[in-house]
Each structure stands twice: as structure tokens, then as C-alpha cells.
Amino acid sequence: MKELKDRILSEGKNLGNGILKVDGFINHQVDPALMDSCGKEFANRFASVGATKVLTAEISGIAPAVATALHLGLPVVYARKHKPITMPDQVLLTLAPSHTKGRTVELIVSPEYLSDGEKVLIIDDFLASGNTILGLVRLAETAGSTIVGIGTLIEKTFEGGRDVLNSLEVPIESLARIASMENDTFTFAE
């Protein structure tokens, strides 16, 4: 998606160790017009998968997931990283390593909002190693849901996450696929 790639080229920063800083328009300050465009694009790409819910991880996945869900007319469920007191005692919980946090994080969903028979579209900000998305897959499958597609704003192809997810045999769409990051020069994959 040209609009997203242009923003990465103009504002993205390579912090080293595979970390791409896009805080100015995705991860800290969110550009709602850009997220709306990304949501429309995801909605077009996933229109035929029959999703009944959009699932993402707190916090950076929420903006693209909400934009996508809005254009598909679906609710969004996001996996929380801390269990609030409003959540029931019995929850869906898994652990996933976080590259940007440098530690393992909990992903928690209330079974009230993700249940047996749902067709789940996962939308997240990044696809790198695939660990966070695999955590979301585990949550959905534990609930008895079926994954029908995976969409990410940015994929770092050099980290191999797509290879890990290919065994799911669902459509995987990334709006900007980065093949390499050298200093602040980004090369996009086709």
C-alpha cells in the first residue's frame, strides 16, 4: 500500500536489532486517516473470508483492527496484557515473546467475547517472528474459534514470521513488506 510505504520511508526509523520505530503515525501517535485507509484495504482483501470477529493484541494493533472492523461491520476483540478486575476469573490466556518489550507478555481474552464457532480475522501492526500472532491464534483456537485470515500493517520479511504462519493455511496479507532495513534505508519486498 503506497500511502503506508511512503510514511515508513519519510518517518520510519531503524533503531537496530530489527526494531522499526513508527511511533509518529502507528504506535504512539496514530494517524486516523492512514488507519482508515489501511482498514479499507484490509476490508477489501478479506471481504470474502466470512469473518465474524476481528482479533488483535493490545495496544498497537487496536487502531488498524478497529478501522478494519468498521469497514467490515464487525466487532473487535483485543487481547489484553493485564487482567482487569472486570474480567471473569476464568479467562483465555497465553504467553508470547515480545521483541520490542524484550520479555514474554501475557495475552488475555475474556471468553465472553471470543467463543466457539467464531470466524476470526487477526489484524495487527507488525508481522516479524510471528510469535504474537501465534499467541492470538492459540487464544482463538482454545475458545473454539477458527482463524480465517491474518492481516498486518508492516511485515519484516527477514524475520521469517510468514513461514511460521503458513501452516495455518489462511490468507496472510501485509500492507507493507520490508525485505531489509539498512540504517534508515528500507527496501520493500514485492
Q: Is residue 97's pLDDT more than 90?
A: no
pLDDT tens digit string along 56-85? 999 899 999 999 999 999 999 999 988 888
Q: What average pLDDT score do residues 97-110 get?
A: 83
Find the mean pLDDT for residues 11-39: 95
Q: Is 21 exposed, middle or buried (0-12, 13-18, 19+ CB in 10 A)?
A: middle
Q: How many domains does the chain have?
A: 1
100 pLDDT band, cuts 50/70/90, is low
The CATH number covering residue 34 comes to: 3.40.50.2020
Domain that residue 97 falls in: 2-188
